[in-house]
Structure 1
Amino acid sequence: MEYKGRITKLKWIPLPRTEKAEALYNPYCGFYSIYRFFADSRTEAVEGVPIEEVRAEPSKQLCLVEINLLPFNETELPEEALEIVRMIFERFIELKKQMVVRFLYDWEGKGILSEPKDIAVIMNHMSQLEPLLKEYTKHIYILQGLFIGSWGEMHNSRYLSERHIARLARHLYECSGENTQIALRCPNFWRMLFKTCRPLERAVAFTDIQKARFSLFNDGIMASDTDFGTYGNVGMKDSKSYSEKWTRKDELEFQNQLCRYVANGGEVINECPGNDAGPALEVLRKMRISYLHSDYDEKVLNKWKASKSGVNETLWKEKTAFEYIEAHLGYRFTVEEASLSIAPDKSGRFKASVKIVNRGFAPCYHKYEVKFVIRDASFSEIYEYGVDTDTRMWMPEEPVELEALISTEQFGLSSYILCIGIYDPQADSPIQLADTFSSADHMGNYNLGNFTVIS
């Protein structure tokens, strides 16, 4: 049936929708595993398997890749070491994972003894790695730390002065890809680097200035009132220098603002009342946590698996705290409403609109492609309408309204399906939505409803 005249009306039938209570496994967020390598060995350090045989769980999108430079803490990196780093990166690309990369000199808690005695050695290692860090910037989401300290965590190091931190941070910024975040171990390092107590502001977020690329990681989340030394006992208002660590309350508020635009993640450790299910959900949401280690601390993780979520929503009430946390790490987009106007506007076009809410703990920090798609059941006719929006600004619990004007002049059939699709060109992956109304089709688009053309 061909419509040669003007379409005057549509009959719109939206699909019923509710949120589904399960994890989505989208890019750049979720639980992660750690993979360890020495820069002078072609095998993984823990399992002992060759680099090309390393395996990763399909459900985990992020991998923390630790590369130990200890064998070269007094020399430059030889070509063979650089080739091994390249092999490691290539393997995780083959596995279709996004990498959080940590270069370090210590796995035994002996930071000062293990790291180079001359900062120039570290600086040179960064310079030598620069071509690889920039070549693989599409696949390196975050660089954790500045190569220094025990376990690469920026403590127990000879290089923690403001002068040394600033020098290392600036150099790593210059040596890494323009879209790669660099995560600092404590919020006070961020303030010390940029000489401000004001978190990153929207006006400069995602630009190429230095502070827009520095994020946080915390491998002591909820371990104690100070997260094992991550925070201090000075109130923000009483702080006399940028390097001071604030009280837990003030540091959590600082992270809540800063991590609107840069990522936050790490490890939960030391089973205690502070990481019981209720407080844990509150803290993870406040910190805007995107990623957590899936194997550590087992006592904390097992406590979450044995505890109800405590969330006062029918959907999640009977789920465990672990299931709730896994499903909400990072971003979690759900379509709340979808509509299609039944009559055209003055230009003869119809308006498609949806309301999307991010139910996750954090934003996505990546600009995805968003489009409405109209197709028939057999995919013989497909029409796409791009949406001008910035998914990096889809903040948790803040509804986003998306619209597109639909021209119907090309329609040749009587029945169509209205879909929405969100796609990440960097990870080459469609983004999963948290709705029950349909599964994504083979193009990664979700059915919002059906409409019939009335001429």
Structure 2
Amino acid sequence: MNVSVKMFFSFLVIGLTTMVCSKPVKSSAQHLETITVSYTESNEDFPNPERGFYRYSETSAGNFIPLDQDQLKEWRNGKKADGGNYSVKSTLVFRYYILNVFKDKPLSAAFLNSVKADFDIARKAGSKLIPRFTYTNASNAGNCPEGFICPPYGDAPKSIVLGHIAQLKDLFHNNADVIACVQMGFIGVWGEQYYTDHFGDASQNGSAGKLLDDNWRDRTDVLRALLEAVPADRMIQVRYPQLKQRFVYGIQALTSAAPLLDNEAFKGTDKARIGFHNDCLLASPDDYGTYEDYGNSSSVRRSDLAVLKEYKKKDSRFVVVGGETCTDDYSPQNDCAPAGIAQSELESLHYSFLNCAYNNDVNNDWQTGGCMEEIKKRLGYRFVLQSASFPKSLSAGQKMNFRIQLINRGYASCYNPRQVKIVLRNRTTGQQFSIDTDADPRAWYSGDIKLESDVTVPSTVTPGEYETFLFLPDKYGSIGNRSEYAVRLANNDTWESATGLNKLGIYLTIK
């Protein structure tokens, strides 16, 4: 864990043309002639919202340095990773807010305004933030059992933490459009809920070496406050899987507690909103205590790697997962296949984003080992059009049945709500009509995706020939028409960069 800065899969390009039209066929269901188009897959690495390698940025309340809009745009367009031998195109920025001057008092209006300005800068740049608030990210060495980091650690008591979270509520709600997710933070050095003066020190420096019931209550109180302060359509990431279990099922919950099920996912409940960040991915067999049972007043601390990792594998299918590597000590296990398990780990735990600034002793090995390009493309979602079928002609106000077949090559689905629309554009006048579908790309998990729907062509559509598009915009009106915040499909020659629309290569006649 660094004090300043804290994934064999090839995509085949089939054929030379992007879209191949089949001859029209009769649809027995609607008695309408249909046209079907097939697509070729792109091998390009390109930016997409809320996924990929993120850029790291920090500022302290005592010396606030705002985000730089030009730098965020530069990161989005592609730039070499800090300390890396590879380049990335980043739509996400991890933003550390170090509350070093507010450990015993409320946040100032000036600080809150500075954070608001950061959100405004991110919005103008076409980026989203992953904010984490902490009171210290400095480790003080000394004469204690762990040596490299000793108490006092420098975080704040529960009463101060809860007060600060309450103060941040309006900021979270007013800027949810450019928040990808929020990391729990607040407790302990780096906001990682471990080395802490006030919430139970489970390290060798602590007298108990585990967490007691009161420690769990205090931690779950902070998580509850954060869930209440952050809008219901945004997730909170916690550092340790057991914290989610003990929040959801109580402080006596066993590590065998049940993960989320399909019918519970994306419901806006607390259980459905808690994801994970692993800040020591592939650092050791248990990722430096990530899969540890930290006990309680009546049980001992113990390793429970197999059970907790299996829980996280199942739960992570439905929640946001990200983090960073932190040491190369676990080489070759943390390398590319076949020597290492980097790709399989990222896939089984459904990673959406990783830090490109730390630890590049590990990340650089992925570049030299030949799996970095795969990891860059597969972090989060990567939706690929396979085929699409639409009626060749129909009338305004008529039901339109369409079928679109995709595949998600990524490690995960979308984790935030997102709209799916069919857009019709008149080839003569350029007038556009947008038709909502009931599809939810959060349920477009890795593998095959079938989008089939009956939608009604608006009665206001004038007769003429129309080009069709698939549009996956952000749900928030503030950025919903901006191409930087729309999902690009991984196909050749389908993306309209100016509009954020994905061309389907199908032309309809509206009578």
TM-score (norm 2): 0.74
Matches of 1:131 and 1:13, distance apart in 2: 48
Say if 2:97 is the partner of 1:67.
Answer: yes
Paired with 1:124 and 1:384, the residues of 2 have a C-alpha distance of 44
1:164–1:245 distance in 2 versus 1, CA, 3 Å? farther
**2:283 is aligned with 1:267:** no
Change (3 A) 1:148 1:398: same
Trace 1:104-119 onto structure 2 (pairs within 5 A): 104-110=134-140, 112-116=151-155, 118-119=157-158
Deviations 1:62-109 (A, max 9, x none): 111101112221223233333333333333233232111111111222
Matching of residue 225 in structure 1 with residue 264 in structure 2: no
- The residue number in structure 1 matching 2:18 is none
Aligned pairs (5 A) from 1:196-215:
197-215=257-275
The 3-state SS of whatever aligns with 1:70 is coil
The aligned counterpart of 2:133 is 103
Structure 2 residue runs of 5 or longer lacking an equivalent are 1-29, 77-88, 141-148, 201-214
Report the equivalent of 2:304: 246
Q: Hey, what does 2:190 align to over in structure 1?
A: 151
SS at match of 1:424: coil
Superposition pairs of residues 276-287 of structure 1, within 5 angstroms: 276-278=335-337, 279-287=341-349
Q: In structure 1, give the amino acid aligned to 2:122.
A: F
Give the match's secondary structure for 1:99.
strand
Shift in alpha-carbon separation, 1:129–1:228, aligned structure 2, 3 A: same
Do the aligned partners of 1:107 and 1:150 also contact (CA within 8 Å) in 2?
yes
Question: Which sits farther off after the overlay, 74-83 or 353-362?
Answer: 74-83
Match of 1:19 in 2: 41
User: What SS does structure 1 have at the residue aligned with 2:424?
Assistant: strand
Which of 486, 495, 510 is the equivalent residue of 1:430?
486
Q: 1:9 to 1:154 in 2, by over 3 A?
A: closer
Deviation at residue 432 of structure 1 after TM alignment? 0.2
Q: Which moved more, 1:396-405 or 1:144-153?
A: 396-405
Give 1:362's aligned residue: 412
- Unaligned stretches of 5+ residues in structure 1: 1-6, 44-49, 235-239, 309-320
Instruction: State whether residues 51 and 91 of structure 1, in contact with CA within 8 Å, keep that contact through their aligned partners in structure 2.
Output: yes
Report matched runs for 1:105-184 at 5 Å: 105-110=135-140, 112-116=151-155, 118-158=157-197, 159-160=199-200, 161-184=215-238
Distance 1:382 1:153, change over 3 A: same
- Partner of residue 293 from structure 1, selected from 338, 346, 355: 355
Conservation of the 8 A alpha-carbon contact between 1:27 and 1:61: yes
1:331 is matched with 381
With over 3 angstroms needed to count, the CA separation of the structure-2 counterparts of 1:250 and 1:18, relative to structure 1, is farther
* Structure 2: distance between partners of 1:242 and 1:216: 24
Q: What's 1:237 paired with?
A: none
Q: Residues 377 and 66 of structure 1: is their aligned pair in 2 closer, same or farther, counting only changes over 3 Å?
A: same
Q: Structure 1 393/8 Cα, relative in aligned 2: closer, same or farther at 3 Å?
A: closer
Q: What is the Cα deviation at residue 303 of structure 1? A: 1.1
Q: State the identity as a percent.
A: 24
Distance 1:408 1:181 in 2: 35
1:307 aligns with 2:369: yes
**Equivalences for residues 438-449 of structure 1 within 5 A:** 438-440=494-496, 442-449=498-505
Say whether the 8 Å CA contact 2:61–2:101 is kept in structure 1: yes
The 1:448/1:175 distance shift into structure 2, 3 A limit, reads closer
Match of 2:71 in 1: 55
Residues 330-380 of structure 1, C-alpha deviation per residue, up to 9 Å, x if partnerless? Answer: 1111111112356889x9866321112221101101232222233343454
Give me the whole-angstrom Cα distance separating, in 1, the residues matched to 2:67 and 2:432: 43
TM-score, normalising length: structure 1: 0.83
Give the deviation of 1:454 after TM superposition. 12
State which drifts further: 435-444 or 149-158: 435-444
Counterpart contact for 2:276–2:320, Cα < 8 Å = yes
CA positional deviation for 1:145: 2.4
Q: How far off its partner does 1:18 sit?
A: 1.7
Pairwise CA distance, 1:170: 1.4
> Contact 1:230/1:245 (CA < 8 Å) preserved in 2?
no
Q: Using the alignment, how far apart are the partners of 1:293 and 1:251 within structure 2?
A: 23
Question: Which residue does 1:318 correspond to in 2?
Answer: none
When the two structures are aligned, how many residues end up with a matched partner?
A: 422
CA contact under 8 A between 1:192 and 1:242: conserved in structure 2? no
1:419 maps onto 2:449 in alignment: no
Query: Quick check: 1:419–1:447 contact (8 Å CA) kept in 2?
Result: yes
Superimposed CA distance per residue, residues 255-282 of structure 1 (whole angstroms, 9 cap, x where no aligned partner): 2221222100000232211211121110
Task: Assess, with a 3 A threshold, how the Cα gap between structure 1 residues 349 and 242 changes in structure 2: closer, same or farther.
Answer: farther
Aligned alpha-carbon RMSD (Å)? 3.1
DSSP 3-state at the match of 1:193: helix
